[in-house]
Chain A
Amino acid sequence: MADHDVLVVGAGLAGMRAAIAAHRAGANVAMMSKVHPVRSHSNAAQGGINAALRGTDDSVDSHVYDTVKGSDYLGDQDAIEFMCIEAPQEIINLEHMGVIFNRDEEGRLGTRNFGGASYARTFFVADITGQAILHVMYEQILKAGVRSYEEWFVTDLIIEDGECRGVVAIEMLTGKLHQVSAKAVVLASGGVGRAFEPSTNALICTGDGMGLAYRAGATLLDMEMVQYHPTTLASNGILLSEAARGEGAYLLNSKGERFMDGYAPKMRELASRDVVSRAEATEIEEGRGVDGCVFLDVRHLGAEAIRTKLKYIQEAALDYAGVDMITDPVPIRPGQHYIMGGVKTDPQTRTWDPNGAWKGPRGLFAAGEVACVSVHGGNRLGANSLLETLVFGKVAGEMATEHAREQHDVPLSGAHLADAGARIQALFARADNGERTAKLRLEMGNAMNEHMAVFRTEEGMQSALGTVRSLQERYAHLPVGHKGSVYNTDLIFHLELGYMLDAAETICASGLLRKESRGAHYRRDMTERDDAEWLKHTTATVGDDGRPVMGTLPVTITKWEPQKRVY
């Protein structure tokens, strides 16, 4: 008998929401994560979560339109509509679970402004919204008594007869390998920021789910769409939330000018992130920056507002840049933050297409940053990512439960555990050739940050792809420095690098495929959006030779025809 009906890989917001939904639907569900759930990177979402909640001037249609426009018309509009329709109820659900959202004078939920949005529809908890929601979600997991495999690292998805039937994983505290079977698997393992250096992302964001799914035959979608956040610290790439600009912060260049006037006269600092990041990069390139940075200025908001609504980022700026935002502007620059692309799913979060239009293993679902539904298209709006994790996490939990019910209990046939064990022993047996995992990762991160960032060119992307491919060759001989069993992070980093290289290769290859500029994918050699040729998704699946096979899929348009995108 299968160990679980549903196994959720990853225990951030999408994963925990999926587990709760599956539990409520009556499934025997478990979560598995390489870290404790409250260490997940959903913590780092600071600014808030979007919803057009009833009783305001706002409308779901407006939320959909802003998201479609923000995506530069690459988002699938059926999925976006679904997300925005579900959003209000999901906010209420969170509030009932115990999230302490900011209130208005009447004691009802209050909102703040956010980038790319026509109305103030971002619900928030100071500037620790992600943390506040993540911890409440974990409270619900404890309440429900959901089984949680904590600090278990997944090495393989088990695929038999085209069906995902579980995973092989390392229990990190002992080093033991386990096989855990399930009738449905939900991937909710987050993004791949560490393929870039620097990145706002946590050290755990290594694209494990993307690598696992890709190797298991799933389709990666729009991998070229990588978001650079406009306000990150130069010293270590740490994020300062868009909440600052939502509350009214200015962006200033070296002359003290609010330069966004020249790039987005209407929305200024609150234009969408791709637009603001490009503006900053242009200012810096044209010599109106200071030490590779421009400035984020919140002084005019007053000490009280900064201390209550922007407490965390004020501390972060103090801790990591030595600047007190109450008295001084803080130097910031665009930094890698998010990937809009990911494992292709349909709006039901399935990674396979029952009609066969695209490839993927049955029984595998995906939600959150690891997935691409696609609701963010070419550029994600701030405060839409928390929303995506919850709305599609819930769908994934429910759909996986339904799928599990239809499955017969087939015992696993293959020697999955033995295969994985042998592979790890082979890694341990590799001779020390002087290569180090961290060095390879850094070379990849630097190349990606140089060529797959805010501005791209054919030549640059070719160069990044070349670097990644030569790193893949070196990776094939990369030794593991530490051979112990207990909490061997050196082994884990080695395996993570493999996943990141897969993701990085498809990011470069997808970027080269897309012969236009759209959203975050801005090509200096092709500066215009080309709706006639490229109003479509890029796809990558692994070929027989291990190289990505590229393709395209149509974009779903319901009622918002592409228009010129001006902020």
Chain B
Amino acid sequence: MQANLRVRRFDPEAPEPSARMQDYQIEVPEHFTVLDALIQVREEDDPSLALRCSCRASICGSCAMRVNGQARLACKTRLTAVAPEGETVIIEPMGNQRVVKDLVVDLALFWNKIRAVEPYLQPAGPEPEDEYIASNESMLNLLTPMGCIMCGACVSDCTALEVDENFLGPAALAKAYRFIADPRDGASRERLTTLNEYGGVWDCTRCYMCVEVCPTGVAPMDRIMELRDSVMREIGTTTPGARHIESFARSVARSGWLDETMLAVDSWGRFNLPKLISQAPLGIRALMRGKLPKPWPLHHKRPGAEFVGRIFKRWESNKP
């Protein structure tokens, strides 16, 4: 079959370096992946095309790139899956990282963030002579975050990182989770304290992009949400994000729906007067235009609120 590739090229050694799209039409077998096609281009048509690849079997994490706008492993993406009718496949380097040449990006940002979470086991106390005793379940639980192959796809498409480079990002947070959830690690509290700070777990916008693009099912955002739970349990509700969750739940448990005014007040802190005063005009305008429910004490219960309240009670009593 014919494959139509449109590849974003960038040659830093050109007299005036700038990105451009280049089209390749090549004849390939039906089972080819995007990576197979790029390798064929490189081997037969254009030896200047730069990309990283190695294992061809989605285990080494080298070949993450954007295919039709979304980060993927080129080796795990069949041409027929992204271009069933032989459409043009658009191939670009990963986002959020500096392009070195063509599809090769500088992964310094990625690795700096991994390093920032102290990504190694920090056992409590001296090592036992034999292995640590741990349940198979607790180890199997770690298999999901350990499935991370550090390809960078989640970092490429993270919408929070796009606007704030200080965010640790999905890969590093999933890595941090791997140690905090490890019964052998003794530094969980210190780790959670750090993750509770600016750039940590509360900076995720829950956009789900990392879950969607992760090729190995790590689902980084789910791991970040688990970390938020741990932070609230171990450190407390010291951040706007944690108080936001707490207020949200409180409001729904009480009235069956969300009291958005109190949500804002609780999140910023009830005594955080400068912030509250600065937000007041926005709140008043929204209230006047009917875009906010009436605040407490005028916030009325929805019909059936007691049933919602019971759900919360049952959940509370079943909590581990």
> Do A and B associate with each other?
yes
Binding site for B on A (CB under 8 A): 35-36, 38-41, 43-44, 91-92, 95-98, 100-110, 125-126, 128, 131-132, 135-136, 139-140, 142-143, 173, 202-204, 235-236, 238-239, 308, 312, 315-316, 319-320, 322, 436-439, 480-482, 484-490
Contact B13 A238 (CB under 8 A): no
Sampled A-B contacts (24; CB under 8 Å) = A35-B52, A35-B54, A36-B107, A43-B59, A44-B60, A96-B121, A98-B184, A100-B139, A107-B133, A108-B131, A128-B147, A140-B120, A142-B119, A236-B36, A238-B56, A312-B59, A320-B57, A437-B43, A438-B43, A484-B11, A486-B101, A487-B100, A488-B50, A490-B48
> How far, in angstroms, from A238 to B184 measured CA to CA in the complex?
35
Digitize B114-132: 1 where CB-to-A-CB distance is under 8 Å, 0 elsewhere. Answer: 1100011101000100111
Q: Are A125 and B121 in contact (CB under 8 A)?
A: no
Q: A35-B62, A202-B60 are in contact. Are A489 and B50 (CB under 8 A)?
A: yes
6 closest residue pairs by CB, A with B = A481-B47, A438-B43, A98-B121, A490-B47, A139-B120, A103-B136
CB within 8 Å of A: which B210-259 residues? none
CB distance from B275 to the nearest CB of A (A): 39
Q: Which of B135, B146, B148 has the most CB of A within 10 A?
A: B146
Bound-state Cα–Cα, A204 to B62, Å: 11
Interface pair B132/A95, CB less than 8 Å apart? yes
Do residues B57 and A238 form an inter-chain contact, with CB atoms below 8 A?
yes
Shortest Cβ gap from A443 to chain B (Å): 13
Considering only CB atoms, which chain A residue lies closest to B121 in the complex? Answer: A98
Nearest chain-A residue to B127 (Cβ)?
A: A96
- Select which of A108, A239, A484 is within 8 A of B13 by beta carbon: A484
Minimum CB distance partner of B51 in chain A: A489
CB-nearest residue of chain B to A98: B121
* B55 interface residue (CB < 8 Å to A): yes
Q: Which B residues are CB-close (under 8 A) to A315?
A: 58
Say yes or no: B134 contacts A103, CB within 8 Å.
yes
Chain B hits for A41, CB < 8 A: 54-55, 60
| Choice from B50, B58, B123, B139 contacting A101 with Cβ under 8 Å | B139
Residue of A nearest to B40 (CB): A438
Q: Known A125-B143, A139-B121; judge A44-B134 contact (CB<8 A).
A: no
B48 contacts A203, CB within 8 Å? no
Chain B 150-162: CB-based contact to A (< 8 A → 1; otherwise 0): 1000000000000
Given known pairs A103-B139, A107-B133, A109-B131, the reply for A316 and B121 (CB within 8 Å) is no
Contact B120 A486 (CB under 8 A): no
The listed residue (A102, A128, A320, A490) touching B136 by CB distance below 8 A is A102
Residues of chain A within 8 A of B31, CB atoms compared: 235-236, 320, 322
Per a CB cutoff under 8 Å, which of A96, A132, A322, A482 touches B146? A132
Assembled-state Cα–Cα distance A436/B130 (Å): 55
A87 to B54 Cα, complex, angstroms: 29
Task: State the CA gap A308–B12 with chains docked (Å).
Answer: 45
Report A-chain residues with C-beta under 8 Å of the C-beta of B135: 103, 107
Given contacts A92-B130, A125-B146, A143-B120, 8 further A-B contacts (CB under 8 A): A107-B135, A131-B59, A142-B114, A142-B115, A239-B57, A316-B57, A438-B44, A487-B101
Main secondary structure of the interface of B (DSSP, over half): loop
A98 pairs with B182, CB closer than 8 A: yes
Inside 8 A of B133's CB, which chain A residues have their CB? 106-108
Shortest CB distance B48–A (Å): 4
Closest to A316 in B: B57
Residue of chain A at shortest CB distance from B48: A482
- Decide yes or no whether B26 CB sits under 8 A from chain A: no
**How far does the alpha carbon of A146 sit from the alpha carbon of B51 in the complex, in Å?**
27
Known pairs A239-B57, A482-B48, A484-B11; A100 contacts B143 (CB<8 A): yes
What residues of chain B lie closer than 8 Å to A485, measured between beta carbons? 13
**Per-position binary interface string of chain B over residues 165-176, scored 1 when its CB falls under 8 Å from any chain A CB and 0 otherwise:** 000000000000
Residue of B nearest to A308 (CB): B140
Asked if B57 and A482 sit within 8 Å, CB to CB, the answer is no
Is A38 within 8 A of B61, CB to CB? yes
Q: How far is the CA of A132 from the CA of B178 in the complex (A)?
A: 12
In the bound assembly, the distance between CA atoms of A380 and B20 in angstroms comes to 49
In the assembled complex, B83 has its CB within 8 A of some CB on chain A: no
Q: Does B104 contact A (CB under 8 A)?
A: yes
Max count, chain A CB within 10 A of own CB: residue among B55, B76, B139 = B55
Indicate the member of A239, A312, A484 with the most B CB atoms within 10 Å. A484
Known: A202-B55, A481-B48. A107 touches B182 (CB 8 A): no
Partner of A104, one of B57, B58, B136: B136
- Chain A residues with Cβ below 8 Å from B43 are 436-439
Q: B59 touching A107 by the CB < 8 A rule? A: no
* A370 vs B100: C-alpha distance when bound (angstroms): 31
Partner of A486, one of B13, B78, B136, B142: B13
Does B55 contact A487, Cβ atoms closer than 8 Å?
no
Option from B42, B48, B139 in Cβ contact (under 8 Å) with A484:
B48
Nearest-CB residue, chain A, relative to B137: A103
How far is it, in angstroms, between the C-alpha of A204 and the C-alpha of B47 when the chains are bound? 17
Using A44-B55, A438-B43, A484-B11 as known contacts, say yes or no to A39 and B136 having CB atoms under 8 A apart: no
Listed residue (A36, A102, A105, A173) with the most chain B CB atoms within 10 angstroms of its CB: A36
- Counting CB contacts under 8 A, is B149 at the interface? yes
- Are B120 and A142 interface neighbours, CB within 8 A? yes
Q: Are B136 and A107 neighbours in the complex by a CB distance under 8 Å? A: yes
Q: Kindly list chain B residues whose C-beta atoms are within 8 Å of the C-beta of A489.
A: 42, 47, 50-51
- A332 vs chain B, min Cβ distance (A): 14
- Report the nearest B residue to A104, measured CB to CB: B136
- How far does the alpha carbon of A202 sit from the alpha carbon of B75 in the complex, in Å? 12
Q: Which residues of B contact A436 (CB under 8 A)?
A: 43-44, 47
* B52 cross-chain contacts in A, Cβ below 8 A: 35, 39
Separation of A448 and B226 alpha carbons in the complex (Å): 51
The answer to whether B60 and A126 have CB atoms under 8 Å apart is no
How distant is B119 from chain A, measured CB to nearest CB, in Å? 5
A140 contact set on B, CB distance < 8 A: 120
Q: Within the assembled complex, what's the spacing in Å between the Cα atoms of A126 and B142?
A: 11
Q: Which of A107, A439, A482 has the most CB of B within 10 A?
A: A107
Tell me the complex Cα distance, A43–B59, Å. 7
B25 to chain A, nearest CB (A): 19
